[in-house]
Structures are given as C-alpha cells and as structure tokens.
Amino acid sequence: MSIPSLKNLENIHIQNFQDDLIQWFKKSHRQLPWRINRDPYRIWVSEIMLQQTKVDTVIPYFEKFMKSFPTIEAFAEANEDTVLKAWEGLGYYSRVRNLNTAAKEVVNIHAGKVPHTLDVLLQLKGIGPYTAGAILSIAYGVPAPAVDGNVMRVLSRILIIPDDIAKPATRKIFETAVKQLISHEDPSAFNQGLMELGALICTPTSPACLLCPVRVHCHAYHQGIEMQLPVKSKKKQPKKVQLIAGILRNEEGKILIRKRENEGLLANLWEFPNCERPNQYMPSHFILTDYLENTHKIVSLVQPSKLTEVKHVFTHLIWNVHVHVGELKNAVEETTHLKLVSEDEIAAYAFPVAHQKMWDSYIEMKTKVEKS
Ligand code: SF4
C-alpha cells in the first residue's frame, strides 16, 4: 500500500465488510423522499440540499421543490426569483443558483439526461467529486467514491486514518480507500450505507459502537480510540458584524424592500434596508436615517426604540441586526432593486432567514398593537 495512512486496508476482509454494511443498510435505512426511485435529477437535488443542511430540514423543502419542479425541464425553465423563493430559508443560495445553471445546461446540451460519467458531471456548475460520486453510484450503479464529512469520519475510525479531514487534500486519501472497499455489485447501497452509518450510528460525539454493523472491522473500536478520530483542525472564528435594519412604511402602508447585489453573500435575495453599525456610541436609528438619505435619498423617521435584535450565524460571519421600524417621509422612486410592496405581497419575495425573522417580529408587534 503506497499511502501510509491506509495501511489498515490490508487488514480488512473487504467482502465481509461490504456484506455487513450493505445488509445493514438494506434493513435499517430511513425512508427518505429521494430514495423512492433512482431518478438522477431527484438524487442530484437532494444531494445539493443536503450540503450543510440536516435531513429533517431538507425533507419538506425537497417535497415542495419536487411539486414545483417535478422534472429537470420544469426546473431549467424557472426564473431566478422563483428558484430563490423555493430555496428560501435553506441558506447557501449559490447552491440553487448553480443547480439551476447546471440544469439548463443538462437540458440544452445533454437533452435533459443527467450525465453518467465523472468528467462530464464535474463540468456542471456546483457539482464536485462528492455529488458526482453520489449521482453516479446511487442513480447509475457506478462504483465511484462519494466522500463527504460523514464518510471521512466513519472511515477514519474504521481504518484509523490520522490525516486532518479539515484539509481539502485529505479527501483524496479517503477516495482511495473507498475505491478499494466499494462493492461493484451494489455501489449504491455501499455508498449510502457509509453515509447512513455516519448519520445514525457512527456520529461525531457519541458513536453507538455496540449497535454498529461493522464493529468487527473497526480498528479504532478495537483499540478504544474511536473518540480521538477523526482528526479535524479548528476553523477560524466567524467575524461578528453589527447591522442596523429598518422596516419602513409609507403612508399607504407599503413596505420598502430592496434587492441585494447580484454577487456575493445572499446575492439577489430581497431584504429590508440595512447598513453596518460603525460604532456603538452613535444611536443606531440616527445611523440608519443618515444611511437611507445618503444611499437611497430617502427621508425617514426611524423610531429610536428597537423592534427586535436578530442574530444569524453563517459559516464565516455572524450578523447581529438591530431592527427598527419607521416611516417614509418622501416619495420613493421605485426601481428593479428598490420596491414598495404591500404586506400581502411580501410573501412573494425571497428573503434571507434573518430578514424573515425581522418580518415575523414586525407582524407579531403589529398584531399585539391592533389587539390592545
Ligand atoms: S465501531 Fe464505533 S467507531 Fe467503529 S465504525 Fe462502528 S460506530 Fe464508528
């Protein structure tokens, strides 16, 4: 074996390992909506949704998505606003933008058939080695590795692989391991078995080794070091950003919303106007008033008391948003990126989660006032 980290591969009875894993998967797997058939489009969408999002959160989104876009052709035809609305709340919106771009390419260049070879799949936007491996193995029965964080954790324990799984280069080591281990008779059940094992049994902080179907093959378990694996270096702390946002009404009761830039974080989603709070000494409602005037030529009366404070954690960033309500004092010139909408119309626009929370607080406050 040329990779020293994989020396324990020589001590695994591969056929028995495959049998134990696959039999357990067939008996114990969860019934999930993307498992009802082998449609590559459904599998692709599910894998993209499952990146950085938990299964329980994904299920209702997936079902709604498939109702709205039952075929790749229906999804490819959808415009960006509709697509973002379907993804609203799932976060990491570049995932769905890339998915839509790639779906258009599949329809236009590949006659609507999701490619079944690694190199062609990898050319599609948003498809990396993991997603390609998942589509190939689950939809097409190709023995390709599909290595994500779950799989790295499981195999780092079974084979005692000491490499840092936070480093991108480490994935290759695990792919080499899977290539050796994968069943050629049933690569779909094998890959899904590894993923399912990581999700249900070999969990990050409390692996249920006594229930584990592959315990007999697990080197870390036999040495009592499963809790020391995987090796994963700590990420940088996310940067904290203080923001001030305003829910601003004109005299007809319409609310001011704007579209974010078409690049970068939460691109093209709608939001309530907001700006950074440069220091904590100047009252936030003054900062927002100044900002609105300078940026949008909007004269407003922002109430000094805060409506609420909303915290939202991204991978690299933490937003702490001080939310105020206010009134617009002059006419607003609407553009494609700045609109006045009625409260009922708000639901038609896709907002980031933090702004959905602000809106919920606003409606709650308004309902209370109306009742009192
Ligand atoms: S025996 Fe324990 S550590 Fe090893 S694969 Fe199973 S659950 Fe994970």
Contacting residues for 273 by C-beta, under 8 A, at least 6 apart: 245, 246, 248, 256, 257, 258, 288, 291, 292, 295, 296, 298
Number of the ligand 1 atom closest to the C-alpha atom of 212: 6
Report the interhelical angle of 80-87 vs 94-109 (nearest 10°): 130
User: Per-residue pLDDT tens for 353-367?
Assistant: 999 999 999 999 999
Could you list the mean pLDDT of each consecutive 10-residue stretch along the chain, which spans 372 residues?
Answer: 85 97 97 97 98 94 97 96 93 93 98 97 97 98 97 98 95 97 98 97 97 98 97 91 96 96 92 91 90 92 90 93 94 93 95 96 92 84
For residue 153, give the ligand 1 atom closest to its CA: 8
Minimal CA–CA distance to 160: which of 212, 231, 216, 211? Answer: 231
Atom 2 of ligand 1, residue of closest alpha carbon: 209
Give me the long-range contacts of 36-42 (CB less than 8 A, separation at least 24).
38/138, 38/139, 38/140, 38/188, 39/139, 40/114, 40/116, 40/135, 40/139, 40/140, 41/71, 41/72, 41/75, 41/103, 41/114, 42/66
Helix axes of 187-200 and 14-28: crossing angle, nearest 10 degrees: 70
Determine whether the shortest distance from the Cβ of 196 to ligand 1 is under 6 A. Answer: no
Q: Provide CB contacts within 8 A for 232, sequence distance 6+.
A: 164, 165, 166
Residue 104 near residue 78, CB atoms below 8 Å: no
Q: Which amino acid is at 323?
A: V
Whether 73 sits among the annotated catalytic residues: the reply is no
- CB of 199 closer than 6 angstroms to any ligand 1 atom: no
Asked if residue 20 has its Cβ within 6 Å of ligand 1, the reply is no
Q: To which H or E segment does residue 198 belong?
A: helix 187-200
What pLDDT score does 300 carry? 87
- How far is CA 257 from each of CA 160, 270, 345, rounded to the nearest angstrom? 53, 7, 11
The predicted structure's pLDDT at residue 1: 47
CA-nearest of 128, 130, 102, 126 to 114 is 102
Ligand 1 mutation target, pool 12, 154, 156, 216, most atoms within 8 A of CB: 154
Residue type, 312: H
Domains and CATH numbers, the chain: 4-228 (1.10.340.30), 239-371 (3.90.79.10)
The residue assigned the tokens 């994935």 is 171
Residues in contact with 45: Cβ distance below 8 Å, sequence separation at least 6, in sequence order: 34, 62, 65, 66, 75, 99
Q: Do residues 358 and 255 make contact, with C-beta atoms less than 8 angstroms apart?
A: no
Catalytic option among 10, 47, 105, 333: 47
